Amino acid sequence: MFLVKLGGSIITDKAKENTYRTDTTTRLATELTHANDPLILVHGAGSFGHILAKKHHLNDGLTTPTQTLGFAHTQANVQHLNTLILQTLQDQGLPAVSLPPHALTILDNHHPKTMDYTTFHTYLNEGFLPVTYGDVALDTTLHGSICSGDLLMQLLAHEFHPTTVIFALDEDGLYTANPKTHPDATFIDTITTTELSHLSTSLDTRTDVTKGMQGKLDTITHIATQNTTVILVNGNKPNRLQDILQGKKTRCTIIRGS
C-alpha cells in the first residue's frame, strides 16, 4: 500500500490566498492513476489554510470569539480545497472520497487523542481512494488547534503500515544545505534516520503554522523508524511521482530506518 502526501506548496500558491494550482494537481492526479497498489492520499492546506490560521493564531488555541470564527472560516476554506482536489481526482477516474480530520480526529494540546481509523479501513476495503488533509480540529486542552497533514501521515503510517510513504514536495528531496540559499548544496539520494538526525538542513527556510520543515523531518524520521521506506520527490517535475508508484528509478531522496 502507498501513503502519499501532496504538499500544499505544489497544489496551491502558498503566497496567494485560496489559489489552487489546477494544472499541477491534474497532472499529479493522472500520475496517481498508475499506482498498482491501494493508496491513501493526504494533501496540505497550502494557501487555503495557512494564511487564515496564522492570522488568527489558531495553533495557540481558541480563547476569543474572533479565533472561534477564524477556526470556522479556516475549516470551510480547507474543505473547499479538498472539494477541488476530489473533483480533480474523480475527473481522472479515481474513486476519491473525503475523510475530513475535523470530523474524525480529536487532539489534546496538539497531540492526537482519538482518530477514527475504521472509516479509512472500510472505504479502502470497498475500493475507494480515501483522501484526508491538513485541517483544524477540536482540542480538549486548547478547544481547537491545527491537525497538520504531516501529523496525519504519521498516524496513518502507524495504523496501515504502508510499504512506501511518499511526500511530494517543491524540491527534489534533501540536500546537505538549503538549496534555495546555498547553490553549492549537495543532493542526497539515500539517507538513514540516524544520518538524518545529524543533518542540519531544510528544504524550505520559511516557517508556517505547522512547524515548517523541522516538523516534517520529525515526521519522516518517526515513519522511517517503523521499517517503512519514505521517499521525498519533487511534485512539480512531471512523471517523478508516477515513476515511484511504478517502481522505476527517478530523482528523489530515499530515507530508511537504521
Strand, coil or helix: what is 2? strand
Amino acid letter, 41: L
Mean model confidence pLDDT for the chain:
92
Q: How confident is the model over 75-102, as pLDDT tens digits?
A: 999 999 999 999 999 999 999 999 999 9
Q: How confident is the model over 139-182, as pLDDT tens digits?
A: 999 999 999 999 999 999 999 999 999 999 999 999 888 777 88
Cα→Cα distances 99→3, 79, 178, Å? 14, 10, 34
- Count of C-beta atoms within a 10 Å radius of residue 218: 15
Indicate if the pLDDT at residue 57 is higher than 60. Answer: yes
Indicate if the pLDDT at residue 16 is higher than 60. Answer: yes
Which three cell numbers mark 171?
Answer: 524540491
Stretch (H or E) spanning 145: strand 143-147
pLDDT at 203: 43
Mean pLDDT calculated for residue range 103-126: 97
Q: Within 13 A of 156's CA, how many CA atoms are on the CB side? A: 33
CATH superfamily of domain region 2-256: Acetylglutamate kinase-like (3.40.1160.10)
pLDDT at 224: 92
Indicate if the pLDDT at residue 136 is higher than 90. Answer: yes
Strand, coil or helix: what is 56? coil
Stretch (H or E) spanning 108: strand 105-108
Q: How confident is the model over 189-229, as pLDDT tens digits?
A: 999 988 888 775 444 444 455 455 667 888 999 999 888 99
Mean pLDDT calculated for residue range 126-136: 97
* Phi–psi pair at 144, nearest 5 degrees: -165, 145
pLDDT at 128: 98
What distance, in Å, lies between the first and last C-alpha atoms of the chain?
22
Site of grid cell 528531496: 173
Mean pLDDT calculated for residue range 12-21: 92
Strand, coil or helix: what is 128? coil
Mapping DSSP onto H, E and C, the string for 225-242 reads CCCCEEEEEECCCCCHHH
